[in-house]
Structure 1
């Protein structure tokens, strides 16, 4: 965010400069009217009118330039905040119980984050104008009339005082609204995922009532925010109108001779009085602008806070803490050849579980070796893979990959060497080739073509050409989906450690054989650790490690 502050500051100061151009415009207008009142002809106002027009055009141009600059800097800042939040979420573990709900994270990043732009692009410049412009106008009015300056000076502080009091409540209301919105999105996403189960259990009406209650709570929160926004506008308009009216009354009676004081012992002429009257509304205009965007401040600060909380979310485990920045900039070089994996005294226990899944576990996998972890459900096969990948916190022990200990400082570079292939790889809507490349700039079309050939998926890709496949792999068989996931790993030449979890589960014998052939082809020149129930697949590996379920 700090990288874009100069753009925000420059944009704000340009808008301040545009607002201050009203002072010479007002002076020219007042002088022209004064000359006409003194009997001057049209020629007395031609040049002032031309200068007013020129200043007006300059003011519009400077205002537009400042607004554009502030908007671009605000959008860039929002992009950075979103990037940090997404990077933090992607670097965290899917096994983290404290991980933000998907609906909440999506609501913050995609919906609530949009309020950051008006906060930075509109409220921040408006606040700067409200700080500078009234002081300059006060300095211009004071030499002419201390009474008018005093009226403005008394009326002005009341506005920010009441606005601050309202602002505290507005921020709290906006934060409560965003929490309610995120909770509702999380609830809705969870229920959509489990719609079949809800129908099977006959809980449709109960879910609908819960959703209706959430919607009503969100409506109340939203109306509370709107009420506060309208209240802030009403407060400002009241004090601004009273301030301008008091100045106008004083100037009028002063020019009529009824209030002869307040002009430093002299009497204001028509031009001076009109100049003060023209500046009085401009004195309150920046404060009025702040009021108009006050709700942007409350919503924007709440959104920035929510994005920061997502950005700071880390799982305190080896390989998941403090490595978002390093993950974006992995080391340019690493040791040649596939890594060996060494596990010493590893222990792990699920939260709240009585027995440990792994206790004092040792395993050494040689560089380029293919090892199968074979055992029943609950024996810790998938957990062991997650620990090696740094996706779960080890209770004790040490994991080394290529003679480098897995830890917070090394996890990003080590994970860059890994490819994880689960039972149900996610397939994005798009072509087969784009699903393999995944937007990685280092994966070329040649790499994709070679990877398709390695997993024997080239004929399927050629037959489909660039035809779209649906989200989740609609249009592909289960075996083709798994081979596509294998091709993703094969296309990236920098991955030399494969972690594969039950690749042949739920597949028939012929399809499982195809996936196994593809896996072995991809594993050539790489280290492979495989978790499986399938003895046929395990028999194709170099070594089998049998794990027993712990009671």
Structure 2
């Protein structure tokens, strides 16, 4: 990782944390006040022990003062941690809401596994950064400075020990922290890759079983899991190394203070004071301050890995936001149907696909007409369907539907009149009945009969109550395609957009799908079908041939 990458990650992370800065400042102040109570407690302990040595020991007052300060310190710590934790929960919740909102209203985007890993797993790593690292950083900026001043007040020698050993800890922590951050970023990337791999393999599970490729798939997944394990162990190795370095310097510093105080009280050392010998109370006070001088640095070191993980998440967040994606027209929400006949008029459509400019033909389609879009792969058939559904924005040209311009104000109402039959069937994690009806009332039998699927559904383990999974597990490709068509038949759309409805099907399945489409057209529904199937195209009212992109 370069310094520039670190600065970019820190900038993104600061932007994510910015809405909670007020709460974090309050938590930092409370945490700092709690830490600054220890010198007062240390003074009471030193006074009590020194009093015992001189037979002047009103212990009850020291004990009462120590206990009251301890209770106050615990209350402030609890209050601070609660504020920081709540702020972290709000921040991660807002980030997840942004992801869900954006992904729900755009037509293209990154791989689903990567997005799922970012939303479900990686964002949780921001919580330790907010709840632990931010308060620890605030304490480091205040507590060591106060303790250093108190140490110099009692003994310049102890102050010099703190002054020399203290800065060494953050220096080595920063050096090791860069390695930790690089390791964390590699781990975050591997988590996303593993999620993508799992999603792809689950989607292709039926094909994997048919091809007998289970062993090869398991081996590849095991190799990916092993890579993730190695990346995780690399992060842990760096974490243990940084902890060992920190504990070494902290132990050396505390030992040097204890040795100096001990030899001074024995009269073997005569330097370090300001013209008077070190008193027992001052010596005990300095020994009690020494661990607390290093404690904020130790807390920051422990939380440094939280910062490294948060920066890695911030980098993933920035990468996700930078992904080019075309938003849907409209809000992508339920809306009242757009009024008027379902006429379609396309004029002068142009859309840039990477470096190429796709030019689509003009046409008009009256309500109830059927149209086939023929052309080689990459000619723009699917793109035209997505444009007609308001899922893409044309760079040039316009689409008029039901006599109105298809734009943000009309897209939701227009989509309420559309049926969509994708090339790859997709089902919700719900019963087959819900997948076909999508909550609409009515008898599903006519739609199933129209696509010759009533016997297949009756043969499923639980009939219409069967859960198929997202990929339609247990069904052939043709059966899944026919169920998708049955869903469209039951919804009775005014226009059906079908993408390669007979692709990769045997003759019997293709004929069943074709018959179902014609049955839907007979009800007055307009059909716009993107296909390579010349026989299916010949049964449509009109055919438009798209030329391949140059």
Retained in 2: the 8 A contact 1:504–1:534?
A: no
Tell me which of 346, 365, 372 is aligned to 2:349. 346
How does 1:59-208 map onto structure 2 within 5 Å? 59-94=73-108, 99-195=109-205, 197-198=207-208, 206-208=216-218
Pick one of 523, 526, 547 that aligns with 2:544.
547
SS in 2 for 1:547: strand
Corresponding position of 2:260: 250
Q: CA deviation at 1:282?
A: 0.8
Does the aligned pair in 1 maintain the 2:350–2:397 contact within 8 Å?
A: no
Structure 2: distance between partners of 1:537 and 1:205: 41
2:384 corresponding residue in structure 1:
384
Which one of the candidate residues 405, 414, 424 is aligned to 2:411? 414
Distance 2:520 2:195 in 1: 40
Deviations 1:278-337 (A, max 9, x none): 11101111111122232222122212221332233223xxxx15x89x848x89999876
Question: What is residue 443 of structure 1 aligned with on the other side?
Answer: none
Greater CA drift, 179-188 or 291-300: 179-188
Which sits farther off after the overlay, 424-433 or 502-511? 502-511
Deviation of 1:16 after TM superposition, in Å, equals 2.4
Match of 2:547, SS?
Answer: coil
Alpha-carbon spacing, 1:545–1:349, altered in 2? closer, same or farther (3 Å):
farther
Offset at residue 148 of structure 1 (A): 1.7
1:208-241 deviation per Cα after TM superposition (whole angstroms, max 9, x unaligned): 5544443443333222211111111011111111
TM-score, structure 2 normalization? 0.76
Task: Return the alpha-carbon distance in structure 1 between the equivalents of residues 427 and 163 of structure 2.
Answer: 64
- Taking the aligned partners of 1:5 and 1:499, their CA distance within structure 2 comes to 49
For 1:24, the equivalent position in structure 2 comes to 40
Shift of 1:547: 1.1
Farther off after superposition, 140-149 or 377-386? 377-386
Query: In the aligned structure 2, how far is the partner of 1:387 from the partner of 1:50?
Result: 76
Consecutive unaligned residues in structure 2, runs of 5 or more: 1-15, 449-456
Measured at CA, do residues 547 and 333 of structure 1 come closer, stay the same or move farther in structure 2, by a change above 3 Å?
closer
1:34 paired with 2:50, answer: yes
Determine the structure 2 residue equivalent to 1:361.
361
Give yes or no for contact 1:145–1:263 (8 Å, CA) kept in 2.
yes
1:46 aligns with one of 35, 60, 63? 60
Show the 5 A alignment for 1:332-343: 341-343=344-346
1:373 aligns with 2:383: no
8 Å Cα contact 1:92/1:314 also seen in 2? no
Q: 1:134 to 1:474 in 2, by over 3 A?
A: same
How far, CA to CA, are the matches of 1:335 and 1:208 in structure 2? Answer: 50
- Preserved contact between residue 334 and residue 412 of structure 2 (Cα < 8 Å): no
Give TM-score scaled by structure 1 length.
Answer: 0.76
Q: Distance in 2 between matches of 1:12 and 1:465?
A: 59
Q: What is the alpha-carbon distance in structure 2 between the residues aligned to residue 45 and residue 466 of structure 1? A: 79
Task: Return the alpha-carbon distance in structure 2 between the equivalents of residues 38 and 148 of structure 1.
Answer: 25
Q: Supply the distance in 2 between the matched residues of 1:365 and 1:154 (Cα, whole angstroms).
A: 82
- Give the whole-Å Cα distance in 2 for the aligned partners of 1:450 and 1:522: 21
Cα deviation, residue 205, structure 1: 5.4
Task: Give distance in 1, aligned partners of 2:184 and 2:118.
Answer: 13
Q: In the TM superposition, what whole-angstrom CA distance separates every residue of 1:365-394 from its partner, at most 9, and x where no partner exists?
A: 57xx34532244647543311133454575
Shift in Å, 1:499: 4.5
- Corresponding pairs, count: 508
Distance 1:430 1:181 in 2: 28
Counterpart CA distance in 2 for 1:435 and 1:195 is: 20
What displacement does 1:159 show? 0.7
Tell me the secondary structure at the aligned position of residue 142 of structure 1.
Answer: helix
From 289, 299, 302, give the equivalent of 2:312: 302
1:214 and 1:370 mapped to 2: Cα distance? 52
The 5 Å alignment of 1:222-237 reads 222-237=232-247
Contact 1:254–1:260 (8 Å) recurs in 2: yes
Partner of 2:396: 397
Contact preservation (8 Å) 1:123, 1:290: yes
Match of 2:13 in 1: none
Q: Is the 8 A contact 2:433 2:465 kept in 1?
A: no
Q: CA deviation at 1:193?
A: 3.5
Q: 1:311 aligns with which of 308, 314, 321?
A: 321
> For 2:337 and 2:19, how far apart are their aligned partners in 1?
31
In structure 2, relative to structure 1, the CA distance for the partners of 1:433 and 1:249 (3 Å cut) is: farther
Query: SS of the counterpart of 1:343?
Result: strand
What corresponds to 1:13 in structure 2?
29
CA distance in 1 between counterparts of 2:342 and 2:331 reads 19
> Which is further off, 282-291 or 11-20?
11-20
**C-alpha spacing 1:81/1:215, structure 2 compared with 1 (3 Å):** same
Indicate the SS of the match to 1:267: coil
- 1 CA distance for matches of 2:491 and 2:67? 64
Give 5+ residue unaligned stretches, structure 1.
Answer: 439-447, 491-495
Q: Structure 1's 70 and 338: CA in aligned 2 closer, same or farther, altered over 3 A?
A: farther
Contact 2:436–2:486, Cα closer than 8 Å, also in 1: no
